[in-house]
Structure 1
Amino acid sequence: MATIVKTPSGTWKAVIRKIGWPTTAKTFRTKRDAEDWARRTEDEMVRGVFLSRAPSERLTVAGALKRYMEEVSVTKKMTTQRSERFTAQHLEAFFGKYSMAAVSAELVAKYRDERLAVGKSNNTVRIELAMLGHLFRTAIQEWGLGLTFNPVANIRKPSPGKGRSRRLTANEQGRLFAAADAHSNPMLGWIVRLAVETGMRSSEITGVRCGDVDLERRVIRLADTKNGTARLVPLSRVAVAILQHALDNPMRPNGTDLVFFGEPGRDGQRRPYIFQKLWARLTLDLGLDDLHFHDLRHEAVSRLVEGGLSDQEVAAISGHKSMQMLKRYTHLRAEDLVTKLDRLGAAPK
């Protein structure tokens, strides 16, 4: 039987000691509430379904996010860590003061609706919900918080956003290349041109080291990619020329083998060149502020398809594991398809 005692502050404390179970206690404002809780808890113990909710009631979402960042996020790629730091800030602002046990599906749905209402994209909200769901899944499966369900699991997620179809016109490419080449740091121009020639992601380009480049074989070996699979990227003659200039960069300091290097950090170490702010300013000045750097990857992949390469060949170059995802990143110009249709068959006589 449970022990019900009145505390000096006037509340009622129920304490359950049962063989085979840890001592469990909880405090209530009334004696009846304490007795009701004790009966339910003892019944759950008899049926073997009892879960102690005390840890999840004591731990706030803010505290859980802090632990998640320290134990889980740090095991992921640096780009993912940076992204999750921003996501965690939004989640903490809304959920931070709630205990983990107090977060319900209704509350998560409210967060979803409020984020969409302020103009956040479907994909942004999906990413935030995915991190919140993983936080609860980790708490249940690894931290043993005694949560009975994941409040994110069954709520309606925003539909995936439509894949971008932004293509680069010849005029835009000419202006973009000229402006990037005119920048005081030649690495900006090399990076922009290399993105269009190879379809590599920005992090893949800036992470390339001199030893990864084989100009004789005309390939780059990417060991650290978004999907975790190393791949060889074949190089066009234009790409080879770009990389030759980058490798011959007279400003390359001793002690770094990064092809595209940044300024030393506080620890004296050089990390990959950061150009995102330069890109934003450059495209804004050109009136191309709707052009994302990742659109250059879309453009490169689409050109490979238009050039006659098969889906498998394009995937081998771009690193896409899913053909469905590849289709989202591939946007063919309708006028080019018309030309191909004309070549397929002669006009009827």
Structure 2
Amino acid sequence: MQARIEELLDGYQRELGPRRGLSDLTVEAYIHEARSLLEYLAASVGLEPHDPLNLENLELADVRSWLARFQRAGQSRSTLARHGASIRTFCSWLYRSGYSGQDAAARLKSPRPDNELPHVLSQDQARHLLNYAHERAKANDPVKVRDWAAAELLYASGLRISELCSLDVASLGADSTVRVIGKGNKERIVPYGVPATRALMRYLDLRPGLIKSPTKALFLGVRGGRMNPRQMREVVHRLAAEAGVPDISPHDLRHSAATHLLEGGSDLRTVQEILGHSSLQTTQRYTHVSAERLRSAFSQSHPRA
């Protein structure tokens, strides 16, 4: 059965959103992956994106060929695994919807994710980054105050970047907690400390200066819309570069928060709850980070190291 790319994506989006109850950001990521595959398949047979595409004979080799492009581009195994998981969902939908004669990605095996330890800042580096963001915000520019508040909240709460961007003003509690909707639409309440509270209160005072039309979103871009993860990543990278600390991503701030909590004496279960991990095994990775740092400090300072 032939169909145009936009027709396929519209049907797939209807499946993902209302029927599965996925968040808007997750649906957007799944649609992006599906579009990438469809445009690759169209180009491989000389079709334009608006031409009808016949997926009746879609097979595993086609999906592997699409994935191989990302591997040649040097993407990590964890990223390749994410591509594979997303496209398995899409190919299953194509088969169930009658667009393809088989579930082409059913036998697709994802590469084993990297076992590299997370990249984290030291506590001194994190403190320097946030102090710099604070100093930068003293000009009372709403954008710079927003950047300070976002960085403080990311580090204080260990939120995922998608969770941070999805926050509404009403997500903030009066008791310095934030209500988060995480993976699988699971809700959790995460506390944050005095520095993040101070930054958020200042940002909320200046947030009206960014509003162009009524919105519930907490973090707003210069055009008044909800900030997306790409924009927030740019904020964190820019702050790190200007502060003179190692380049980090928002997820690295999450890793740093988890590591520093454990170094400060928090137990694994507490950190698991804060981060929203479904498995304690995921949280246990951070104990290795702390152990690596202890070994490094020992080798540099102990007289009999």
Q: Structure 2: where are the runs of 5+ without partners?
A: 46-52, 299-305
Shift of 1:230: 0.8
Indicate yes or no: 2:172 matched with 1:213: yes
Match of 2:126 among 167, 173, 178: 173
Partner of residue 71, structure 1: 14
Task: Count the aligned residue pairs.
Answer: 275
Shift of 1:244: 3.1
Secondary structure in 1 aligned to 2:284? helix
Secondary structure in 2 aligned to 1:220? strand
Greater mean alpha carbon deviation, residues 152-161 or residues 293-302 = 152-161
Deviation per CA, 1:246-276: give whole Å up to 9, x if none.
34447455944544333455xxxx4347433
Is the alpha carbon distance of 1:88 and 1:136 closer, same or farther for their aligned partners in structure 2, counting shifts above 3 Å? Answer: closer
Shift of 1:91: 1.0
Secondary structure in 1 aligned to 2:129? helix
Deviation per CA, 1:96-118: give whole Å up to 9, x if none.
35632222223333333343123
Is the alpha carbon distance of 1:204 and 1:339 closer, same or farther for their aligned partners in structure 2, counting shifts above 3 Å? Answer: same
Secondary structure in 2 aligned to 1:72? helix
Verify the 8 A CA contact 1:163 1:329 in the aligned structure 2: no
Secondary structure in 1 aligned to 2:226? strand
Partner of residue 281, structure 2: 324
Which is greater in Rg?
A: 1
Indicate yes or no: 2:28 matched with 1:82: yes
Deviation per CA, 1:156-200: give whole Å up to 9, x if none.
322212355211124533442244231542110121122111112
Match of 1:260 among 219, 228, 233: 219
Distance in 2 (alpha carbons) for counterparts of 1:114 and 1:259: 37
Partner of residue 256, structure 2: 299
Of Structure 1 and Structure 2, the greater helix share is in 2
Partner of residue 283, structure 1: 240
Is the alpha carbon distance of 1:282 and 1:65 closer, same or farther for their aligned partners in structure 2, counting shifts above 3 Å? Answer: farther
Q: Which amino acid aligns with 1:213?
A: L
Of Structure 1 and Structure 2, the greater strand share is in 1
Is the alpha carbon distance of 1:171 and 1:236 closer, same or farther for their aligned partners in structure 2, counting shifts above 3 Å? Answer: closer
Secondary structure in 2 aligned to 1:80? helix
Indicate yes or no: 2:58 matched with 1:103: yes
Partner of residue 194, structure 1: 153
Higher RCO, 1 or 2 (CA under 8 Å, sep at least 6)?
2
Q: Which amino acid aligns with 1:187?
A: R
Alignment of 1:109-120 (within 5 A): 109-120=64-75
Q: Which amino acid aligns with 1:93?
A: E
Q: Which amino acid aligns with 2:91?
A: F
Is the alpha carbon distance of 1:157 and 1:212 closer, same or farther for their aligned partners in structure 2, counting shifts above 3 Å? Answer: closer
Distance in 2 (alpha carbons) for counterparts of 1:145 and 1:69: 11
Deviation per CA, 1:6-43: give whole Å up to 9, x if none.
xxxxxxxxxxxxxxxxxxxxxxxxxxxxxxxxxxxxxx
Distance in 2 (alpha carbons) for counterparts of 1:129 and 1:287: 36
Verify the 8 A CA contact 1:198 1:239 in the aligned structure 2: no
Distance in 2 (alpha carbons) for counterparts of 1:114 and 1:221: 39
Q: Which amino acid aligns with 2:226?
A: R
Is the alpha carbon distance of 1:244 and 1:333 closer, same or farther for their aligned partners in structure 2, counting shifts above 3 Å? Answer: farther
Verify the 8 A CA contact 1:280 1:289 in the aligned structure 2: no
Q: Structure 1: where are the runs of 5+ without partners?
A: 1-54, 341-349
Verify the 8 A CA contact 2:158 2:257 in the aligned structure 1: yes
* Backbone CA RMSD of aligned residues: 3.3
Is the alpha carbon distance of 1:63 and 1:278 closer, same or farther for their aligned partners in structure 2, counting shifts above 3 Å? Answer: closer
Shift of 1:146: 6.7
Shift of 1:90: 2.5
Distance in 2 (alpha carbons) for counterparts of 1:89 and 1:282: 32
